[in-house]
Amino acid sequence: MSSTPSSTLTRRAFAALLASAAAAPALAGPGPRVVTLLGDSITAGFGLPSREALPARLEARLAPLAPGTRVRGAGGSGDTSADGLARVDFSVQADTAVCLVALGGNDLLQGLEPAGTKASLDRIIRRLKARRIGVVLAGLTAPPAIGRAYAREFGAIFPALARQHGVALYPDLLAGVAGVPGLNQRDGIHPNAAGVAVIARGLAPVVARALAAR
C-alpha cells in the first residue's frame, strides 16, 4: 500500500517523538551517586531486616553529608577476601562511584594466612582502581587472644595497603562494637541494629570524603 503525504508526516512526527524520548535521560543529568559495599555477612545484614542493615543505615547517614547518594549492598555471608576477589568484577557494578571493601573477618575466623588475605585485598583494590572506582578500605582489629604475632600481622594488612594504593582507610569496621554485648547479636560476632548504627555513624564521614574526591 502506498503512503499518503499525511501518513508520511505522521510517521515522521512519531520518529521525532521517539528520538526526543531517547535523548531525555541524557538531558536530565546524572542519576544518584552509588556507593557499593563489598563485604561479608556484616555488609549483607545478617540477622537483620533490610531497613536496619548496613546499606540502609549508611545511606541514611550519608543523606546530609552527600545528598542523593545510594548505597548498594554486595555482601556475601561467609565470604573470605578470596571470595570477594572472585566476584568483585560483577558484584561491583559499573555505576559505582566509591566501593567500601569490608572483607577479612572470615579470613580471621578461619585463621587464614595474613599474606593470602593481603594478596586478595591488593588485587581487589587494583581491579577497582583500574575501573576508576574510588575505594575505602575497612580494616579489622584481631584480638590478641588468637596469638599476638598473628594479630599484629593481620592488623598491619589494612594500613599497609591503604598507604600503598593511596586509598581511604577506615581502621576498624567494628570499632566501638566488637565485644560489646548490647551491640551484638547472640552469636557475639554479628552486630545487632544498634551496633550497625554505630558502624554507619563512623563510616559515613569517611565515605563522604571519598565521594567528594571523585
Catalytic residues: 41, 187, 190
Report the Cα–Cα distance between both ends of the chain, in Å, rounded.
57
pLDDT score for 12: 52
pLDDT score for 18: 39
C-alpha cell at 207: 565515605
Alpha-carbon gap, residue 99 to 38, rounded angstroms? 7
Alpha-carbon gap, residue 149 to 111, rounded angstroms? 12
- What letter does residue 133 receive in the DSSP assignment? -
CA distances from 19 to 9, 26, 162 (A): 15, 12, 46
Alpha-carbon gap, residue 78 to 81, rounded angstroms? 10
Domain spans in the chain, listed from the N-terminal domain onward? 32-212
Torsion sign (Cα): 143, 145, 149, 154: negative
Angle at 53 between CA 176 and CA 32, to 5 degrees: 110
Alpha-carbon gap, residue 196 to 43, rounded angstroms? 9
- What letter does residue 145 receive in the DSSP assignment? G
C-alpha cell at 128: 577497582
Alpha-carbon gap, residue 170 to 168, rounded angstroms? 7
Residue 70 backbone zone (phi > 0: left; psi -120 to 50: alpha; other: beta): beta
Mean pLDDT per block of 10 residues along the chain (214 residues) reads 44 44 41 94 96 98 97 97 98 98 96 97 98 98 90 97 98 96 95 98 98 94
CA distances from 161 to 135, 137, 139, 165 (A): 11, 8, 10, 6
Where does 32-212 sit in CATH, by number? 3.40.50.1110
- Maximum separation of any 2 CA atoms in the chain, in Å: 87
CA distances from 34 to 21, 75, 137, 158 (A): 25, 15, 16, 23
pLDDT score for 32: 87
